[in-house]
Amino acid sequence: MTKTIKNVICTFCGTLCDDLEVDVSDDGKRIEQVRNACAIGAEKYLHVGNPGRVVLPRMRQADGTYKDISYEEAIDFTAKTLLKAKKPLFYGWSSTNCEAIAAGNTLAEKTGGVIDNCATVCHGSSLLAIQDTGVPSCTLGEVKNRADRVIFWGCNPAHAHPRHMSRYSIFPRGFFSAKGQKGRKIICVDCRETDTAKVADVFVRIKQSYDYEVFDALRTVLRGEEIPDEVGGVPAEKIKEVIELLKSGRFVTLFFGMGLTHTLGRNHNIDNGINFIRDLNDYTKAVLIAMRGHYNVTGAGQVLGWQYGFPFACDLSRLTMARHNPGETTSVDLLVRHEVDACVVIASDLAAHFPFEATRVMSTIPTITIDPHISMSTELSDLHIPVAIVGVEVGGCCYRMDNVPIETRKCVDAPEGVLEDEELFKRISARVDEILAENGVSTAAEYLAKIEQET
């Protein structure tokens, strides 16, 4: 007999689908089947039972091999590494729950670290634009119930957020959108004809990195001014056609992704996009939503926001104040300038996504990776601490791409002895307190001073 768990929240992408059904074995240890999920989401659940799961912390030895050690030893090593470092970097957070993030941030404050999340190489530029111009947005349910004009710009949900189109943006029938897809006009702006472009009513193919210019042209036409015959590879007629289509709508939504945040112009592209939406509000209702990637990258920013006031790149290394200066306190910059002397990678894969030079520096400083799986980061770390998988083996709060918090569900037990992220951080914090007390000091700065004096 299997038992079915309903309303399971898929902890893969920022869409955070909450309608999965998971069949688990009688003893609550094995996942048998997953329904309603996309292919990626289903695999997230089904792979858990695969052989080869790491269940004990692994410490790298002098010869490059790994040796299993106990959690106590791993916690002690982490606490000491953090205390000895002047400026440790805590990077990641996007694939764990908010409870763990809060506990981890507390540890970072104690040890004078820099906290940064995946936004730093993702929607960080969107956040910078939001800091410059604001953000008119809404929840995804508003899109489902009202939107009749939907723009996808530099994003490809057909592959990156597979159920986004069916749950929220193109196909669903909502209260004021009873006709579903037939009542919506879909516009896709991209430099390639993606699978999302194939389901769009209007595909605007732009030259790569001409997003800013095209936004400018759209805004110019919207204000009734003339534009050149062609902008960024798009004929003027096409731009005018798009504007007419948008103005005739009652509720316009712009979804945007990496194609906008990481092409030439970066935050300025988003800035222009936000102002385009703001301008559109003179004619009709218009909003925009960022296509956040990891399932809880939004939550990592939220927790950091209410604890220290910034969405990412928060430097607590002075122990007396929080600083936020993107370009200076962002992870890639800190690494390539050799400004951090220890690194904790949590619930994310730094080595797989950062520029080579940043990854190389990370491999030369003491690094601890906290992750359920083996990844490129774990293989470049001095210590890999395995943890339970959020949304599968442990619950906790996560934030969807529209900032709606959803409580994830536990489906099966974690392998025996494997800790949760939150508990791990609390135990490291406790060990830090112990070490400080043993040395008769009360802050990390005093500890460092004492160590330096002794040597």
Partner 1 sequence: MTEIIIKNGHVFDAVTGQKGDVADVCMKDGKFVDKVSSSATVIDATGKTVMAGALDVHTHVAGPKVNLGRWFRPEDKFRLGERCSAKIDPKTKIEGGFSIPTVYKTGYEYARMGFGFLMEAAMPPLYSRHVHEEIRDTPIVDEAAMPVFGNNWFMFEYLKNGEIDNAAAYVAWMLRQTKGYGIKCVNPGGSEAWAWGLNCMTINDQVPYFDITPKEIIAGLITTNEELHLPHSVHLHSNNLGNPGNYTTTLDSLKIAEDFKPNTNLGRKTVLHHTHLQFHSYGGTGWGDFESKSKEVMDYVNKTEQISIDTGCVTLDETTTMTADGPFEYHLGALNHLKWGNVDVELETSSGVVPYIYGKNVKVCDIQWAIGLEIALFSKDPMRTMITTDHPNAGPFTRYPRIYAWLMDKQYRDDLLNSFKYATKVIDATYLAEIDREISLYELSQMTRAGPAQVLGLSGSMGGLASGMKANLAVYNINPDNMPKGLDLENAFAKSAYFFKDGVKVVENGVVVDADPVVKKTYWVDAKVPENKQVLHDINEKFLKYYSVNLGNYEVIDHYAPHQEIIEV
Among 43-51, 196-204, 306-314, 422-430, the segment contacting partner 1 (CB under 8 A): 306-314
The CA-CA-CA angle for residues 56, 60, 64, to 5°, reads: 135
Contact between 117 and partner 1 (CB under 8 A)?
A: no
CA dihedral 253, 255, 261, 266 (to 10 degrees): -20
Q: How far is the CB of 319 from partner 1 (least distance, A)?
A: 7
Distance of alpha carbon 152 from alpha carbon 70, whole angstroms: 48
Q: Choose the stretch contacting partner 1; rule: CB under 8 A; options: 134-142, 185-193, 257-265, 414-422.
A: 134-142
Q: Does 176 bind partner 1 (CB under 8 A)?
A: yes
Q: Does 38 bind partner 1 (CB under 8 A)?
A: no
Stretch that binds partner 1, among 43-51, 55-63, 224-232, 401-409 (CB under 8 A): 401-409
62 is a contact residue toward partner 1 (CB under 8 A): no
Decide: is 166 part of the binding site for partner 1 (CB under 8 A): no
Binders of partner 1: how many residues, by CB under 8 A?
A: 62
Torsion sign (Cα): 434, 437, 441, 442: positive
Say whether residue 141 binds partner 1 (CB under 8 A).
yes
Which residue among 69, 135, 199, 227 contacts partner 1 (CB under 8 A)? 135
Concatenated DSSP letters for 220-265?
HHHTT----SEETTEEHHHHHHHHHHHHT-SEEEEEE-HHHHTSTT
Closest CA to 184 of 135, 145, 141, 136: 145
CA distances from 288 to 215, 248, 254, 261 (A): 14, 17, 4, 14
Could you say which of 6, 35, 198, 223 contacts partner 1 (CB under 8 A)? 6
Q: Is 278 in the site for partner 1 (CB under 8 A)?
A: yes
Decide whether 372 or 396 has the Cβ nearer to partner 1.
396
133 binds partner 1 (CB under 8 A): yes
Q: Smallest distance from the beta carbon of 125 to partner 1, in angstroms?
A: 14
d(CA 131, CA 111): 28
Q: Which is nearer to partner 1, 262 or 324 (CB)?
A: 324
Torsions phi, psi of 213, nearest 5?
A: -65, -40
Q: Say how many Å lie between the first and final Cα of the chain, rounded.
A: 64
Q: Does 84 bind partner 1 (CB under 8 A)?
A: no
Residue among 346, 398, 408, 355 nearest 377 (CA): 346
Q: Among the candidate windows 168-176, 202-210, 411-419, 424-432, which touches partner 1 by CB under 8 A?
A: 168-176
Question: Site for partner 1 (CB under 8 A): which residue of 191, 202, 322, 441?
Answer: 322
By the rule CB under 8 A, 207 interacts with partner 1: no
> 298 near 13, Cβ under 8 Å?
no
For residue 397, which phi and psi values (nearest 5 degrees)?
A: -90, 140
270 binds partner 1 (CB under 8 A): no
Angle between the N-to-C axes of helices 71-84 and 98-111, in degrees from 0 to 180, rounded to the nearest 10: 50
Q: Letter for the amino acid at 225?
A: E
- Give how far Cα 181 sits from Cα of 152, 243, 255, 449, Å: 15, 20, 16, 65
Query: Are 389 and 402 in contact, with CB atoms under 8 Å apart?
Result: no
Q: Does 316 bind partner 1 (CB under 8 A)?
A: yes
Please, what is the minimum distance in Å from the beta carbon of residue 284 to partner 1? 6
Shorter beta-carbon distance to partner 1: residue 183 or 305: 305
CB of 137 to partner 1, least distance (A): 5
Nearer to partner 1, 6 or 159 (CB): 6
Residue 69 contacts partner 1 per CB under 8 A: no
Residue 324 lies near partner 1 (rule: CB under 8 A): yes
Single out the residue of 250, 337, 338, 450 in contact with partner 1 (rule: CB under 8 A).
Answer: 250
- Residues at the site binding partner 1, with contacts judged by CB under 8 A: 6-7, 9, 18-19, 98, 102, 109, 127, 130-142, 144-146, 167-168, 173-176, 250-251, 278, 281, 284-285, 287, 301-303, 305-311, 316, 319-324, 397, 399, 403-407
